[in-house]
Structure 1
Amino acid sequence: MPPRIHSISSEAFRGKVTMQPNTTRSVLREFKNRLLTGAAEKRLPVFGGNCRAATARERSGERGSTMILLMMMLPLFMVPLVGLAIDGTLCYIVQAKLAAAVDGAALGAGRLLGTPANTNEIAAEFLNVNFPTGYWGSRNLQPSISSTTVLATHTINVSATVDVPLLFLRVIGQDHSTVASAATATRTDSRIVLVLDRSGSMNNVDPVSGLNVFTTMQSSAKSFVGMFNPGTDELGLVIFSGGGVVAYPMNWPYNYSASGPGGPDVNFGTSPTAGTMINQINAMTAGGGTGTSEALALAYIELQKAHNRDLAQNGTDSRLNAIVLFTDGVPTTLSVNANDNTNASTNSLKSPGSTSCTYNPENSNASTHMTGWIGVPGNPPGWGTPVGLHLIPLTDTNAAHNLAYWMNHPSYDTTVSSMPTSALSGCAYLDNPNTGSHAQLNDLRQIPPYDLYGNSTTGNMYIYSSVDYNGTAYNPAQPTNGYQVGLGIWNAVDNSANTIRSMTAMGTIPAPTGSMNPIQIFTIGYTGNGGVDAGLLKRVANTQDCQPMPNVNEQIGQYFEVHSADQLNAAFIAVASEILRLSK
């Protein structure tokens, strides 16, 4: 007879089990069976069984547990995190304001580095003005300002710390946090030659803005000058039409020697709006052609003059060197020595049987140089019939003609021939370039292979010209062909810029002596007077996008293209800002 099992009431699950004595194993087996049966009826999860969805009552219990957990976490984790975020945001706001104030102090005082001004005191004033006392409750502003000068480079260092009160982190004993910022401004004394185009087209009225191009350029150039410091920076001025003139410093007659007097100096101004160089810019008038290659060569000579002078005075020279070229058109003139007797290939005159010029090296008679400029009228690439030889202003021997005369008579060189006029004795075509057929170059057998300064008129980079090249290769044996002469002029400009940037000898102009910093060239092209040759101006400046590629071993410059006169001032200011390089 099987053992009798007494029933187990529901109280058994509540700890109230009533049963008759029986074997332990039977009781446990019955208890297990009842548990499994009850679990199945109530759909409760059973060890080793399948999961099921919780009932609404059970879910309610779970939510209650989560709420309790969150309430327990709130004082332990959430409040401190929110407090940390608020305190961190406050520190960020104060630090951003402090950084802006420190940067402003460094840059503001940096503009006066190298001048007699007390830059440390000025920086402190900038800092105090731009960071108000008690900003967002901050306190204990501690600035540190120092300035140094090494050779021609001036540096100012500005740093500051300030305490920011904390709101929530005080509960852990941290009542403030200290934020800091630092900035450095450097300024290298500059040596710059400003090269300005004053050709006849500059007298035009800009079709976009209605402004006179020349007077607007003058105003913009003066703004450029005003950004540099008299007594610290060195500035010079070259202006050009058919020929170039060194307008500042004022040395007449001109000395072509790189070791001669002149060169950019620190006496160019007495204030940002006054001084000798400002006066010379005001005295300029416009007229004539565009002799870019000579203007660049003169700028190179002037930079070397200043370098040699400073080197002799100080034993060293660490100035930044730059040329800033402005033009509104394409180069049209070339200063040459038509009877250069250096060797047979440099003499550009026809043989004596084809020309009657007296001073022909083939007659063993080149005692008088036939110097002057040749040019092409009209527009590229066709151009008109080449003309010459015209007077180079700096070779003018007329005692009544001084620098002031040439500042006010830019076209006089188109009305007279080379000086001395006896140099053209016997020439059938070069003796009077202002009269009919005598304006032509029929006395020449070739386009001179070099300009007056030793820049070659040959090359093949003209294929990257924006306007001069029509697909026909350069042929120097065609001196009466305007297109060919135009390419020769183009080559001379390109080669002149290459020589300047590489700082090598340019004809009789030697390479710089001593430790002279590289020369950087900036170009500004105004397109409103018929357009400029952007391809050439980019190559002159050696820009990153010049064709076929920049020379990475030379200074990389910049080209600024201006389409209306009202943009000129911004272009000049942009170049000045690039040169100054105040912040680092």
Structure 2
Amino acid sequence: MPQPKRIPGSRRRERGIAIMLTAVMLFVLVPVAGLALDAVLLYALKAKLSTAADAAAIAAARSLNVGMTLAEQENEARQRALDFFRANFPNNAYNTSNHSVNVTVAETAFRTRTVTVNAAINAPQYFMRWLGFSSTRINALGRASRRDVNLVMVLDRSGSMGNAATASSPCAVMKNAATTFTNMFAEGRDRLGFVAFGSGYHIGFSPSMNFKSGGSSSMPSRLGSMTCQGGTSTAMAAWKAYELLQAIDEPGALNLIVLFTDGWPNGVTADLPYRRITDSRYGGGIRTDSTTTTTTRNINTRWQTGYPNYATTYSMLPSPCRQGSTSSPPYHYYNMRCNNSSCSSYTNYSSPNWNPNFNPPTRLGVVTQAAGDQDTLNTGATVGPIRPEDSSLTDAGTTLVSGLDDCAATTAVSNSWTGVRRDVAYLPDTDAYGNSTRGFMDFPGVMQFSSGPYVGKIRIDVPRSLTRAALNAADSAASRIRSDVSLNPVIYVIGLGDVNHEINRRMANDPTSPIFDDARPTGLYVYAPTPTELNYAFVRVASEILRLAQ
């Protein structure tokens, strides 16, 4: 088949068309490519600007605690925001220009301050200059909120913390760490207070927004005046902290309890029933009554040794406490004491049930063990009943409760502390605040009465029983506090040295707790093996709280 003939000069004409088409396409493709490259640059600068604005807002919100007045705090926050922004996005960085940063601090919700950072820059254009665009304005917004806190510290000042006057003692280190912790919060916005506890408790500083000011009456100053002595009544102290949060009654705020302890709970505060009947129990330095002077009013003049050994079981007479006064029949377990004002006649009763008219009221007091162990000894010292509220931050916490005369546990006789097992029948199933003394830890063997008038009750004369009851009460208190769906309290626990890790995790509702409940506020347990790690532990808890507050 014959081929068509090529027209002479056609190839040269095709080449000219290709050049023209390429020129036209370059006129379109170069701006498109330039737009793509400039868009990538704008996207990168926008991301960098947003990061700088976010960092500035977060840093400013975290610095709202700096300053003694709200104005000082807001000024500090603005300056901190500018400093962080410039550190992350310096002037003229990446050939940008015309930087603008505006920082505002405003209350945006109940007890919530929000820092807003508006930033803008002119981003350079390179390829788009061909179309007359030399720069593009980019804006970014950073925002961080800080919710004010109601926080009560619960500080263990028991005797195992050592001498507060010794700088290296756990007591002294704890006070310094607690002071550093306090200063991390905002004067005039956050509300802080603390409860100190040993055997008893003392409200060292009632929650206030003015916790840094006041000189010697400020919270840091009050922390510095504290001494350490006594037992470990954890449940009572935690509940007192909760009562302080209840009194504030601010469901919209972040309500917090921060508990520090260096040991196992071993003290229980309860309405203690008094012994009216003879039963069998351990002795230990307790005196019994002489039978020769039963008509005397002052029973303290007729004590004689009778139950001296902690490891020996005795058939022990009822409490020698006297119910009543000289103006009315002062009932006693074995007689009506005086049937008339001259005491010329009286009525005697006999064992084991004794005087049916003798029915002394329960007395609020703390019982604790002083056997020197945690959860191993069935015999040893148990002491009390101690007055629940200490008079000051230096009170030794050894004052016994009053209200009945002639008791075994009185300061008028020697070995008065151990008289608690002569006076008190048993430990109730709930403490004075409704916290269960049963549940978490059980009471096998001799830890509860297996026979006699108080069968099934928790024994007051077994050190291990009091430790376990104290653990149960602390566990119950924390669980009940977390169940408040109005205040939603969050509990943090800091443990030092030889502590019971499980109870601390349970109280905090730490994610590692064996009973962790994700439906209730999640806290944190931080452990400090030695006092040198204690400051870090407090700072870590403070950082976690401030993170939650944002």
TM-score with structure 2 length normalisation?
Answer: 0.70
The 1:278/1:433 distance shift into structure 2, 3 A limit, reads: farther
Residue 280 in structure 1 maps to residue 222 in structure 2: yes
Residue 441 in structure 1 maps to residue 421 in structure 2: yes
The 1:168/1:357 distance shift into structure 2, 3 A limit, reads: farther
Write the deviation string for residues 442-471 of structure 1: whole angstroms up to 9, x where unpaired: 444422222232322121x237xxxxx999
Alignment match, 2:435:
455
Task: Pick one of 263, 278, 288 that aligns with 1:329.
Answer: 263
Task: Pick one of 486, 500, 506 that aligns with 1:539.
Answer: 506
Task: Pick one of 90, 95, 105 that aligns with 1:137.
Answer: 95
Residue 242 in structure 1 maps to residue 199 in structure 2: yes
Q: Larger helix proportion, structure 1 or 2?
A: 1
Alignment match, 1:167:
126
Residue 387 in structure 1 maps to residue 382 in structure 2: yes
- Cα RMSD (Å) of the superposition? 4.0
Residue 543 of structure 1: CA displacement?
1.8
Matched residues in 2 for 1:362 and 1:376: separation?
34
Amino acid aligned to 1:462? M
Q: Would the aligned equivalents of 1:350 and 1:444 in 2 still touch at CA under 8 Å?
A: no
Matched residues in 2 for 1:433 and 1:181: separation?
77
Alignment of 1:27-66 (within 5 A): none
Alignment match, 1:489:
470
Alignment match, 2:286:
none
Residue 478 of structure 1: CA displacement?
2.9
Residue 568 of structure 1: CA displacement?
1.6
Matched residues in 1 for 2:133 and 2:263: separation?
69
SS where residue 116 of structure 1 aligns?
Answer: helix
SS where residue 495 of structure 2 aligns?
Answer: strand
Residue 484 of structure 1: CA displacement?
2.1
Alignment match, 1:408:
394
Residue 123 of structure 1: CA displacement?
6.4
Residue 356 of structure 1: CA displacement?
3.1
SS where residue 493 of structure 1 aligns?
Answer: helix
Alignment match, 1:151:
110
Amino acid aligned to 1:106? A
Task: Pick one of 138, 155, 176 that aligns with 2:135.
Answer: 176
Matched residues in 2 for 1:551 and 1:128: separation?
37
Alignment match, 2:318:
355
Alignment match, 1:231:
188
Q: Would the aligned equivalents of 1:456 and 1:495 in 2 still touch at CA under 8 Å?
A: yes
Write the deviation string for residues 285-336 of structure 1: whole angstroms up to 9, x where unpaired: 11222111111121122222233xxxxxxxx763221110001111121122
Residue 532 of structure 1: CA displacement?
0.9
TM-score with structure 1 length normalisation?
Answer: 0.66
Write the deviation string for residues 489-538 of structure 1: whole angstroms up to 9, x where unpaired: 1111111112222239xxxxxxxxxxx53211110111x3xx21111011
Alignment of 1:254-333 (within 5 A): 264-270=207-213, 276-307=218-249, 318-333=252-267
Alignment of 1:7-156 (within 5 A): 87=38, 90-91=41-42, 94-110=45-61, 111-112=63-64, 115-117=70-72, 118=74, 121-122=78-79, 125-126=82-83, 129-130=86-87, 131-149=89-107, 150-156=109-115
Residue 524 in structure 1 maps to residue 494 in structure 2: yes
Deviates most, 187-196 or 100-109: 100-109
The 1:381/1:373 distance shift into structure 2, 3 A limit, reads: closer
Amino acid aligned to 1:392? R
The 1:93/1:571 distance shift into structure 2, 3 A limit, reads: farther
Amino acid aligned to 2:246? Q
Matched residues in 2 for 1:566 and 1:100: separation?
36
Write the deviation string for residues 144-173 of structure 1: whole angstroms up to 9, x where unpaired: 544432221222222323221022343455
The 1:123/1:443 distance shift into structure 2, 3 A limit, reads: closer
The 1:551/1:91 distance shift into structure 2, 3 A limit, reads: closer
Q: Larger strand proportion, structure 1 or 2?
A: 2
The 1:121/1:292 distance shift into structure 2, 3 A limit, reads: closer
SS where residue 296 of structure 1 aligns?
Answer: helix
Residue 368 of structure 1: CA displacement?
7.1
Residue 91 of structure 1: CA displacement?
3.9
SS where residue 218 of structure 1 aligns?
Answer: helix
Amino acid aligned to 2:525? Y
Matched residues in 1 for 2:99 and 2:541: separation?
37
Matched residues in 2 for 1:434 and 1:87: separation?
91
Alignment of 1:502-581 (within 5 A): 502-503=483-484, 516-526=486-496, 528=497, 531-550=498-517, 552=519, 554-581=520-547
Q: Would the aligned equivalents of 1:158 and 1:184 in 2 still touch at CA under 8 Å?
A: yes
Matched residues in 1 for 2:252 and 2:29: separation?
60
Alignment match, 2:406:
425
Matched residues in 1 for 2:228 and 2:29: separation?
76
Amino acid aligned to 1:389? G
The 1:550/1:121 distance shift into structure 2, 3 A limit, reads: closer
Q: Would the aligned equivalents of 1:195 and 1:239 in 2 still touch at CA under 8 Å?
A: yes
Alignment match, 2:363:
369
Matched residues in 2 for 1:479 and 1:159: separation?
66
The 1:381/1:374 distance shift into structure 2, 3 A limit, reads: closer
Matched residues in 1 for 2:434 and 2:90: separation?
61
Q: Would the aligned equivalents of 1:102 and 1:158 in 2 still touch at CA under 8 Å?
A: yes
Residue 240 of structure 1: CA displacement?
1.0
Residue 572 of structure 1: CA displacement?
1.2
Provide the identity percentage.
28
Matched residues in 1 for 2:412 and 2:102: separation?
71
Amino acid aligned to 2:482? R
Show structure 2 runs of 5+ residues with no match. 6-21, 280-316, 324-332, 334-354, 449-455
Residue 204 of structure 1: CA displacement?
8.0
The 1:215/1:470 distance shift into structure 2, 3 A limit, reads: farther
Q: Would the aligned equivalents of 1:163 and 1:177 in 2 still touch at CA under 8 Å?
A: yes
Deviates most, 353-362 or 224-233: 353-362
Q: Would the aligned equivalents of 1:91 and 1:164 in 2 still touch at CA under 8 Å?
A: yes
Residue 280 of structure 1: CA displacement?
1.0
Deviates most, 442-451 or 330-339: 442-451
Matched residues in 1 for 2:270 and 2:163: separation?
29
